[in-house]
Amino acid sequence: MHASLPRYFLIQFLLLCCVALLSGCAQTTPSEPKAISYAIAAHPSSKLARYIAPELQEHPNQTGFYPLANGKDAFIARLAIIQSAEHSIDAQYYIFRDDLTSTVISMYLYQAAERGVRVRLLLDDMQSRNDEDMANIAAHPNIEVRLFNPFKQRNVRSIGLVSDFDRLNRRMHNKSLTVDGIFSIAGGRNIGDEYFSADSSVEFGDFDLLMVGDIVSPIATQFDVYWNNDAAIPIEHLQGQGNKIPHDELAQWYSEQHQNIATSEYFYTLASLPIIEKLKTQKIPFYWGDAELYYDLPSKLSAPSQENPLLHQISELLDHTKQELLLISPYFVPTKAGAEALAKASRDGMKITIITNSLASNDVFAVHGWYAKRRQLLLESGVHIYETQVNPYISQKHSWIGSSRTSLHAKTYILDREQLFVGSFNFDPRSAQYNTEMGVVVHSPLFIKKIYQKLDGSLNKNTYRLILDENNNIVWVDERTQKRYTSEPDASLMLRMGAWFSGMLPIENLL
């Protein structure tokens, strides 16, 4: 999901016509004194440390990473490291839903706390949750829950949004999970069924990395920076002290969840996943190389984008790209200046390939409306553009660039076939100016070579290739069927009109 205002908020905002008035309404959220805490250093005798020790000895001062392109693999990997935790779990997410997979992850987190593991849960406050339930969870002596940049108005959030828009428009979009200071998972996924191939109506094609080695400590430090920031408010400061969940209620909850698992077709399919055997036998085929963590500072809530390191770091990466750029972004809004820079680079000889959502697969049609305004320039300049399909006849094999009923959600860039960026940063004004973001850059030509070996086949099956016809009009080509479309494929007239109208509104910087 796009890390912007939920659609109903956006509609209310547009109807109120308050852009100019609201822009000056920024307020700060007062913070009561709270405990400062930091990541617990890795224990060499812990289960996870012993598990990965032989690999770390063979690859000193490097990062090992395993790609989580499949949603079910991404779910199992999270459960596996949480279940193995002995000392600490730090989880940081923009969205943490109340559905099947989120509930199971919550159960694993709570069971870890019962084993004596310290659990710190940091959530952005854009998603509405039950404050009392969170306070009760945080009443456990080993669990702390903090909300980042919370709404003051807890019950009618739209009122708080209108009165305090400039502050609440800025969100923490970072996503990380670190366990025992040994394993980390970072990338594009939030916590919810649609991110883990568990929702039959929609699936976000996404991409994470399961990581060990040198990169884990910087990710833990990044978490601490946000956790101890004034904008991270303990749930008890908003709700009051919760009540520890009674043992009988907890036992009943566990029983209900195990029953859900036992009767769920989704969990039945997990049992045969190859990653399970790899985790059991310590045969996860990690790729090894140098890696670096990029992340915004929490001060981005109030500081202009020029002062935030991640944007400059990504810009520097792009500036040093000489031959080829593969850009995968679900919400691609390059702005006029960005589109012109990409167009110039293409005309100067760089091969640029962009993979993004089609109008039909995009869950925020306003984003598509503004992206569509830049397509013509890019295509005329030789940029290769592919848009993901929504097609029930596509193979059910899931991938990070699309499958049946999929909306692309991965944010991944490959530079000169040598460096790979995986993270939360969309190529849009919101990621650049308003949301805090993070990502990992790994140097791994071997892994990138394997990506390119599979890329053409995946693009042919799951995307439309955009070209210009003899009249310079955009045509969408389905390489699988050789069918051509002269208007946005799979999109209704109303959806096309909505996107077009959004492209006329002065909202590009909000997207």
* Nearest-angstrom CA–CA distance, 199 and 184: 25
- For residues 411-437, one letter each, b for 16 or more C-beta atoms within 10 angstroms of the residue's C-beta and e for the rest, the string is bbbbbbebbbbbbbbbbbbbbbbbbbb
> Does the active-site annotation cover 416?
yes
Angle at 422 between CA 417 and CA 425, to 5 degrees: 120
Instruction: Kindly name the residue from 72, 237, 411, 461 that is annotated as catalytic.
Output: 411
Instruction: Kindly name the residue from 416, 443, 478, 490 that is annotated as catalytic.
Output: 416
> Does the active-site annotation cover 175?
yes
Instruction: Kindly name the residue from 124, 180, 193, 214 that is annotated as catalytic.
Output: 180
> Does the active-site annotation cover 409?
yes
> Does the active-site annotation cover 173?
yes
Instruction: Kindly name the residue from 2, 72, 140, 175 that is annotated as catalytic.
Output: 175
Kind of pairing between the strands at 463-468 and 384-388: antiparallel
Contacts of 502 (CB under 8 A, 6+ apart): 365, 366, 368, 369, 370
Is the backbone of residue 509 left (phi > 0), alpha (psi -120 to 50) or beta? alpha
With H, G, I as helix, E, B as strand and everything else as coil, classify residue 189.
coil
Q: At what angle do helices 365-380 and 493-502 cross, to 10 degrees?
A: 80
What stretch of H or E contains 229? Answer: none
Instruction: Kindly name the residue from 2, 173, 300, 368 that is annotated as catalytic.
Output: 173
Instruction: Kindly name the residue from 2, 140, 409, 461 that is annotated as catalytic.
Output: 409
**CA of 177: how far to CAs of 57, 69, 180, 216, 432, in Å?**
23, 16, 10, 10, 23
Query: Which residue pairs from 29-35 have beta carbons closer than 8 angstroms and sit at least 24 positions apart in sequence?
Result: 29/149, 29/150, 29/152, 29/167, 29/230, 29/231, 29/233, 31/230, 31/231, 31/233, 31/237, 32/234, 32/237, 34/233, 34/234, 34/237, 35/144
Contacts of 130 (CB under 8 A, 6+ apart): none
Active site residues: 173, 175, 180, 409, 411, 416
